[in-house]
Amino acid sequence: MIIKELDVRELPQKWKHSTIFETFNSLNVGDVLQLVNDHDPTPLKFQFFVEHAESHHWEYIECGPDIWRINITKLERKKVI
């Protein structure tokens, strides 16, 4: 298991989600994207549940008030028959 930290606090808003999803998509199954942000990324959480329904696990590690850390583990995508 590899933990890849991605601090998006300094990224322009328009690049945050695409950078996060590109990084997550580059992970191997079992690896973790540790997201560091300056606010609770609730819209991103909902987007993950829509686009990666059962292929990720979302876990808050640190919840503000200045820093949020979220571990997003990449799970094996279940095959639909």
pTM: 0.91
**CATH of residue 43:** 3.30.110.40
Burial code of 23-37, b = ≥16 C-beta within 10 A, e = fewer?
bbeebeeeebbbbeb
Cα–Cα dist 60/35, whole Å: 10
- pLDDT per position in the chain (81 positions), as tens? 899 999 999 999 999 999 999 999 999 999 999 999 999 999 999 999 999 888 999 999 999 999 999 999 999 976 666
Domain count, the chain: 1
Domain hosting residue 20, numbered range: 3-74
33 found inside a domain: yes
32 found inside a domain: yes
DSSP structural state of residue 50:
H
9 found inside a domain: yes
Are the C-beta atoms of 74 and 27 separated by less than 8 Å? yes
